């Protein structure tokens, strides 16, 4: 079931307002968070199960999705997998406080961030804004890159921010915003080690806290994507206890 009706107390969103898909089977959470997000100027599409959310998001694309894990008619994990098969839409996962496995699985499946329940709505808003800023910054930088006619090329790797496109030996690698920023941070200086803290800053900015496991999960997923087109890909190296580096040619 979907609802897009704005609350009467909320200001009318601007035509360019980001559209958020909010997916949770708890109607109280949906109503409360929808009201808060609309008061902040977002357009909100709400869904109470994964199946209707998938249909809605595919037919009417959104700027970002916030997904609960445990839902009827398709849980959050399956919904995330199906979304990732279609797009690199920014996704924030909602997980139970004690469900560490859900957090790790969500990241491995391609979520950009996660928040544990019960959560502060202000924290959710800040995470949403931070993820959208990262996406906007990538696009803005892409405009500058396009003006110079340059792309980041490292051997078989090509990163074109104008199109948010990553190629390996000419084959497309569909990366999320977070994954793209991580690959870029590593490839900018081949052979130089990046600590997990440095990669967190590159992908999330200074005001968002995530733990080391988040970066590790993203790196594992990036490697998996590259190995789907090149099973001998080994250019992202782990230096245990230190961080990661992009192998020098």
User: What's the CATH number where 242 sits?
Assistant: 1.10.10.10
> What pLDDT is stored for residue 144 in this prediction?
52
Q: Which residue has the tokens 């997923």?
A: 221
- Is the bond leading into 97 cis (omega within 30 degrees of zero)? no
Assess contact for 102 and 95: CB atoms under 8 A. Answer: yes
Interstrand relation of 43-47 and 171-173 (parallel, antiparallel or unpaired): unpaired
- Give Cα 125 to chain centroid, integer Å: 15
Residue 228 lies in a domain: yes
Assess contact for 13 and 41: CB atoms under 8 A. Answer: yes
Enclosing domain of residue 190: 148-246
Other Cβ atoms less than 10 A from the Cβ of 132: the count is 17
Q: Is 210 helix (H, G, I), strand (E, B) or coil?
A: coil
Print pLDDT tens along the chain (249 aa): 555 444 334 445 455 789 999 999 999 999 999 999 999 999 999 999 999 999 999 999 899 999 998 888 898 889 998 998 888 889 998 887 666 667 777 777 788 888 888 888 888 998 898 888 877 766 555 445 444 446 889 989 999 877 778 999 999 998 888 888 899 999 999 999 999 888 888 887 655 666 677 888 889 989 999 999 999 999 999 999 899 999 986
Residues 121 and 155 in one domain: no
Alpha-carbon distance of 159 to 41, in angstroms, equals 33
- Is the bond leading into 118 cis (omega within 30 degrees of zero)? yes
Residues 178 and 208 in one domain: yes
Alpha-carbon distance of 189 to 224, in angstroms, equals 22
Supply φ then ψ for residue 225, to 5 degrees.
Answer: -65, -45
Residues 126 and 43 in one domain: yes
Give, in degrees to the nearest 5, the angle at Cα 99 between 97 and 103: 95
Residues 31 and 133 in one domain: yes
Alpha-carbon distance of 170 to 205, in angstroms, equals 30
Residues 24 and 135 in one domain: yes
- Token representation of residue 78: 């399956």
Q: Report pTM.
A: 0.65
Give the CA distances from residue 31 to residues 24, 27, 112, 192, in Å, rounded to whole numbers and listed in that order.
10, 6, 24, 48
What digits encode the pLDDT tens for the residues 210-223? 667 788 888 998 99
- Token representation of residue 218: 């993203």
Residues 188 and 94 in one domain: no
Residue 230 lies in a domain: yes
User: What's the CATH number where 107 sits?
Assistant: 3.40.50.2300
Query: How far apart are the two ends of the chain, measured CA to CA in Å?
Result: 52
> What pLDDT is stored for residue 86 in this prediction?
85
Residues 207 and 168 in one domain: yes
Residues 132 and 158 in one domain: no
Alpha-carbon distance of 130 to 136, in angstroms, equals 10
Alpha-carbon distance of 165 to 201, in angstroms, equals 22
Residue 1 lies in a domain: no
Domain boundary among 109, 139, 169: 139
Residues 62 and 43 in one domain: yes
């Amino acid at each position: 079931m979907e609802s897009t009706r704005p609350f009467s107390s909320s200001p009318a969103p601007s035509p360019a307002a980001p559209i958020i898909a909010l997916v949770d089977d708890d109607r109280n959470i949906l109503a409360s968070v929808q009201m808060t997000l609309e008061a902040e100027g977002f357009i909100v599409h709400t869904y109470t199960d994964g199946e209707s959310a998938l249909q809605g998001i595919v037919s009417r694309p959104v700027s970002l999705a916030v997904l609960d894990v445990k839902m009827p008619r398709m849980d959050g994990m399956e919904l995330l997998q199906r979304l990732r098969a279609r797009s690199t839409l920014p996704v924030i996962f909602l997980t139970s406080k004690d469900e560490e496995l859900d957090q790790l699985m969500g990241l491995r499946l391609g979520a950009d961030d996660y928040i544990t329940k019960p959560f502060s709505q202000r924290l959710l808003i800040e995470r949403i804004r931070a993820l959208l800023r990262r996406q906007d910054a990538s696009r803005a930088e892409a405009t500058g890159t396009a003006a110079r006619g340059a792309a980041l090329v490292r051997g078989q790797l090509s990163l074109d921010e104008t199109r948010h496109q990553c190629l390996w030996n000419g084959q497309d690698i569909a990366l999320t915003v977070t994954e793209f920023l991580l690959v870029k941070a590593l490839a900018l200086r081949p052979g130089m080690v990046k600590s997990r803290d440095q990669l967190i800053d590159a992908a999330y900015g200074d005001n968002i806290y995530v733990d080391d496991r988040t970066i590790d999960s993203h790196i594992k997923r990036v490697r998996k994507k590259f190995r789907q087109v090149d099973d001998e890909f080994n250019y992202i190296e782990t230096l245990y206890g230190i961080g990661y580096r992009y192998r020098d040619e």
